[in-house]
């Protein structure tokens, strides 16, 4: 098992190295004058030359490459650049640190919601197959998963703000983001609709995964043995089958949670949440290339780390993975 962990860590490091190298090539090698790209086509040549020297872009490429990775490993993702003012802004790492709490507040409760909803529907479909209640729950879930997040979010906002708010029913506080430590109730009030938007969009995936995985596990020999010992069907399902069926769910959950925690752009734009997704959109609109680069580097690190953690958790959830790793 130790060898498996080492291999997975090395593979994750190689993936990050390749992604970050690609970012370096796109930003520092492909453009003939990276400083010109940063400043814009109308910037005077003297300013381009000054920025080239200030950023070390006149140094040999291998020196720039080593310095680039050195800065990343030290947590330096560069500084934002305001092209209209021709000046550098705040460090990108501080921008990300300021926005991540919003993504955490959005992602973790929403993930818990969609996991509970999806598992509940999947278990219902396995325990009560063919019933009207099971089919209805699955149909509702599939309806939401087929609806884009921006459409569902827009519909929810319209119902809340345009139809219910005039009658005194205020489900959503528009443009009133409040941090958790300032006012927990106002914080939850601002996030409850984004939570349910993400949960409804993602829950059907987990409903289908849990249903198909549970059906497959329930055909295993050890499940038949447990049933022959007189163990109740509920205990067989929840204590034995669900743990073995959790492996594909963990894969999907790790990827989805990483995506949410690093900024769900559509939901943050629809609900005007000051998170990393909205920050990325603003950086693209203002052509703030260092901020875009820093956010991409950060997102790739989070996604690769999430995949690594999920792979390592396989051995905890499924004994078959530990046995395969031991044989390798």
Query: Residue 145's CB: how many other CB atoms inside 10 A?
Result: 18
Q: Which is nearest to 114 in space by CA: 224, 194, 225, 226?
A: 194
Written as six digits, the tokens of 223 are 């499940």
Which pLDDT score, from 0 to 100, does residue 14 have? 94
Which pLDDT score, from 0 to 100, does residue 172 have? 67
Cα torsion 101, 102, 104, 109: sign? positive
* CA pair distance 260, 108, nearest whole angstrom: 8
Which pLDDT score, from 0 to 100, does residue 163 have? 76
Which pLDDT score, from 0 to 100, does residue 18 have? 95
Which pLDDT score, from 0 to 100, does residue 264 have? 73
Which pLDDT score, from 0 to 100, does residue 323 have? 45
Low-confidence stretches of the chain (pLDDT beneath 70): 1, 83-87, 171-176, 238, 240, 261-263, 314-328
Q: Which is nearest to 257 in space by CA: 204, 322, 198?
A: 198
Q: Which is nearest to 61 in space by CA: 19, 93, 31?
A: 31
- The residue with tokens 């970012």 is 23
Which ranges of the chain does DSSP label H, i.e. alpha helix? 2-24, 34-39, 45-54, 61-73, 92-127, 132-145, 149-157, 184-217, 221-228, 233-235, 242-244, 246-261, 265-270, 276-285, 289-317, 319-327
Burial category of 248 from C-beta neighbours within 10 Å (exposed 0-12, middle 13-18, buried 19 and up): middle
Read off the pTM: 0.77
Please provide the DSSP assignment of 68-100 as one string: HHHHHHTT---EEEETTTTEEEEEHHHHHHHHH
Torsion angle of C-alpha atoms 130, 136, 141, 146, degrees rounded to 10:
100
- The residue with tokens 């390592």 is 312
Which pLDDT score, from 0 to 100, does residue 99 have? 87
Q: Which residues are bridge partners to 88 per DSSP? A: 81
Please provide the DSSP assignment of 263-320 as one string: --HHHHHHTT--SHHHHHHHHHHTT-HHHHHHHHHHHHHHHHHHHHHHHHHHHHH-HH
Written as six digits, the tokens of 152 are 């569902």
Domains of the chain, first to last: 11-94 (no CATH), 98-327 (1.10.3720.10)
184-220: pLDDT as tens digits: 888 888 888 888 888 888 888 888 888 888 887 777 7
């Amino acid at each position: 098992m130790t060898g498996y962990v080492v291999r997975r860590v090395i593979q994750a490091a190689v993936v990050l190295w390749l992604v970050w190298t690609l970012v370096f090539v796109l930003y520092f090698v492909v453009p003939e004058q990276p400083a010109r790209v940063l400043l814009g086509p109308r910037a005077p040549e003297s300013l381009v030359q000054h920025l080239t020297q200030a950023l070390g872009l006149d140094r040999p490429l291998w020196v720039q490459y080593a310095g680039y990775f050195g800065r990343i490993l030290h947590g330096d993702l560069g500084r934002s650049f305001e092209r209209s003012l021709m000046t550098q802004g705040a460090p990108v790492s501080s921008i990300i640190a300021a926005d991540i709490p919003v993504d955490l507040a959005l992602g973790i409760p929403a993930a818990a919601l969609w996991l509970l909803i999806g598992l509940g529907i999947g278990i219902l479909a396995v325990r009560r197959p063919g019933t009207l209640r099971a089919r209805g729950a699955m149909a509702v879930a599939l309806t939401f998963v087929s609806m884009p997040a921006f459409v569902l979010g827009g519909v929810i906002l319209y119902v809340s703000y345009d139809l219910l708010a005039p009658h005194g029913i205020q489900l959503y506080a528009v443009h009133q983001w409040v941090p958790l430590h300032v006012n927990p109730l106002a914080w939850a009030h601002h996030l409850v609709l984004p939570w349910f938007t993400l949960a409804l969009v993602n829950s059907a995936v987990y409903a289908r995964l849990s249903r198909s995985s549970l059906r497959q596990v329930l055909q295993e020999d050890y499940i038949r043995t447990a049933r022959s010992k007189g163990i109740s069907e509920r205990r067989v399902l929840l204590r034995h089958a669900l743990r073995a069926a959790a492996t594909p769910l963990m894969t999907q959950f790790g990827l989805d949670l990483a995506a949410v925690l690093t900024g769900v752009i559509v939901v943050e734009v629809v609900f005007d949440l000051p998170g990393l997704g909205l920050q990325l959109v603003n950086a693209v609109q203002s052509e703030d290339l260092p901020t875009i680069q820093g956010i991409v580097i950060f997102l790739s690190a989070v996604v690769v780390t999430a995949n690594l953690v999920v792979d390592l958790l396989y051995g905890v959830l499924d004994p078959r993975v530990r046995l395969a790793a031991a044989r390798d």
